[in-house]
Amino acid sequence: MATVGTLSSTPIPDPLVHPDFDGAKALGTSNTLEKVSFDPFKHLNHTPPSKVYSMEELGYPESCGVSPNGVSEPFPLFSAEAIQQMRKEVLSDEVFAKWKYSSELAQCQLRGYAADCAPFIYDTWKHPETLAIISKIAGVDLVPAMDFEIGHVNLAVYSEEEKNKALNEMVEKANRATDEGVSGCPWEDDDPIVDWHTDSYPFVCVTMLSDCTGMIGGETALRKGNGEVVKVRGPQMGYAVILQGRYIEHRALRALGGSERISMVTSFRPRASLIKDDTVLTTVRPISDLGELYLQFAEYRFEMLQDRLRDANKLMRDQQRARRPFDTLRLKQFIREQIEFLEHMDKEIVQDDKVVAGMVDDSHLISEELKLERSKKRRVAVA
Ligand SMILES: [Fe+2]
């Protein structure tokens, strides 16, 4: 991918949510929620993606993830009515008052609210038909990673002035790039908010809740195993993209030209307890209610462990009944794997006083260069 990193220009403003931003009022939604129950016949509007790129096509060894499927093209998932209902729940006063998180990477994220006060969104992502669609595209049977991760929302609102400024910057940059004979997308590599990284959870489903007509950018750039960069279009309203984000290096490209951009990111893990779970909490610890996050993480991992121990017991008994020799080596290997499973949990559950709210550490970043740059920026900010 060609870059325009050598061109100098003032950075395009980051998506901005004003401190006094009132979600419901600013985006013209009502706080009076009439109760709508999720109905798959009414609210799912699914057409399979035109293409699902395999891990192999992306140059990753199939064994590196939990599925042979890597990423989908955007596909229609929800009806207009479902999206309107989700917007109403997400932009309610209660969600903003109780579940809004900010970090150095994003000024407004709504997290963990679904079980508490967004029944439609919660039921949508828990419904067997929704999960069947997601699982089919992912190529592995999936469930939401944890309730806390149902319906994570990234929200950016631009004033008319910011919107125009960003667009002008982009046009100016594009012109300069043409003048100087540099090709490539002019907006995509300008001090990215989040650089190349892998996600905390095995799979994500990104759903668009905003009308993206007239917006430019918003794609996801993926780094293939051989270093080559490819882009997947961002979803339009009601559409979704599924990505095996824990294993594929990616970064979000800026979207310009809209007045709001609300995307919902729901994270998933394999349903089967036998499949490996490489979930980390790196990117989510600083933007979570730690008690809730740790409880849910420990709860599902302990359930996995219970299933595994129960299955191991059954296998040992069955083998003995069938007069097979005892497989000592297999037992030792199983024990070792579960020790590693618990050690992994211990590492991810960082003592509360060592987690700084809003500060994501650098372990999710791939590029050493970017880690250095970020630590320099932090030093300047402290000084
Ligand atoms: Fe990501």
Any residues with CB less than 8 A from the CB of 336 and at least 6 apart, and which?
none
Give residue 61's pLDDT.
Answer: 92
Instruction: Give the per-residue pLDDT at 356.
Output: 86
**Class of CATH domain 23-272:** mainly beta
**Nearest by Cα to 236 from 128, 83, 112:** 83
> In angstroms, how far is the first alpha carbon of the chain from the final one?
36
Ligand 1 centroid–CA 242 distance in Å is: 11
Domain ranges, ordered by start, for the chain = 23-272, 303-348
pLDDT score recorded for residue 360: 73
237 C-alpha to center of ligand 1: Å? 19
Q: How far is CA 256 from the centre of its chain?
A: 20
Between the CA of 219 and the centroid of ligand 1 the distance, in Å, is 12
What is the Cα–Cα distance from 226 to 230, expressed in whole angstroms? 11
CA of 56 to the centre of ligand 1 (A): 20
- Ligand 1 center from residue 244 Cα (angstroms): 9
Query: What pLDDT tens digit does each residue of the chain (383 aa) get?
Result: 333 222 223 333 333 444 445 555 556 555 555 789 999 999 999 999 999 999 999 999 978 999 999 999 999 999 999 999 999 999 999 999 999 998 877 788 999 999 999 999 999 999 999 999 999 999 999 999 999 999 999 998 877 777 777 777 767 766 665 555 544 444 445 445 568 899 999 999 999 999 988 888 888 999 999 999 999 999 999 999 999 999 999 998 888 888 889 999 999 999 999 999 999 999 899 999 999 999 999 999 999 999 999 999 999 999 999 999 999 999 999 999 999 999 999 999 999 999 988 877 666 666 676 677 766 766 665 55
Say how many residues make up the chain: 383
Which two structure tokens, joined as six digits, stand for 332? Answer: 């030792």
Q: Assess contact for 192 and 219: CB atoms under 8 A.
A: no
Distance 245 CA to ligand 1 centre (A): 6
The CA-based diameter of the chain, rounded to the nearest angstrom, is 79
The rounded Å distance from CA 287 to ligand 1 centre is 14
β-sheet with 250-252: strand ranges across: 229-232, 220-223, 250-252
DSSP string, 67-135: SSEEEE--EE-B-HHHHHHHHHHHTSHHHHHHHEE--SS-S-EE-S-HHHH-HHHHHHHH-HHHHHHHH
Q: What would the two tokens of residue 322 be?
A: 């069938």
Q: For residue 247, which of 263, 270, 264 has the smallest C-alpha distance?
A: 270
Question: In the prediction, which pLDDT does 166 show?
Answer: 72
For residue 249, report the phi and psi dihedrals to the nearest 5 degrees: -70, 135
CA distance 354 to 279: 20
- Structure letter (DSSP) for residue 243: E
CB half-sphere exposure, 261, CA atoms < 13 A: 28
